[in-house]
Amino acid sequence: MTVAIYPGSFDPMTHGHLSIIRSGLVVFDKLIVAVLRNPRKEALFTVEERVEMIREELAGAGDVEVDSFDGLLVEYCRRKNVRVVLRGLRAVADFEYELQMANMNRHLNTEVETVFLMANDAYFYVSSNLVKEAARLGGDVHRLVPPGVARRMTERLGPPRTGA
């Protein structure tokens, strides 16, 4: 059985993330969606809320485990006995950053390989940070995130001030 870890902050989960997960389930037998606890980032949702939203969205999506972790990704991989990290790419800027991260992870643990998958081209411009910024400024982001995430964003930030 081939298992991969798809790590990220997922704050919030977007349709771009879902695109990578769906593609990952074609390539791998099982995915572990791992929510990073990163105290340096100002999060809109707690790690527990993010894990819950992801579980709700992925119910019935295949062999997917949703978990959280802190510290080094390669140490989390070692604890889970997984040797493959799945990362999504959107634009050239992503590739440069992701290549640096993959090489650092390889330096820290030579047994961990990183596999890159392209996000669906309908969502190549979508990032969690852009979604949060637009929503905080009153923009309507419901087409960029799953319905449950959109509902929770509205509860947290208020309804969009612009038309749908």
Q: What is the DSSP letter of 155?
A: H
Count the Cβ atoms, other than its own, within 10 Å of residue 149: 27
Active-site annotation holder among 9, 19, 50, 128:
128
Active-site annotation holder among 50, 90, 132, 152:
90
Active-site annotation holder among 41, 79, 143, 151:
41
Secondary structure tally for the chain: helices H, strands E: 6, 5
CA dist 20 and 152 (Å) reads 22
Residues linked to residue 30 through DSSP beta bridges, in sequence order: 3
Residue 90 is a catalytic residue: yes
Residue 17 is a catalytic residue: yes
Residue 83 is a catalytic residue: no
Residue 19 is a catalytic residue: no
CA dist 53 and 28 (Å) reads 22
Active-site annotation holder among 17, 87, 132, 152:
17
Count the Cβ atoms, other than its own, within 10 Å of residue 39: 7
Tell me the backbone φ, ψ of residue 120, rounded to 5 degrees. Answer: -55, 135
CA dist 134 and 152 (Å) reads 15
Active site residues: 17, 41, 90, 128
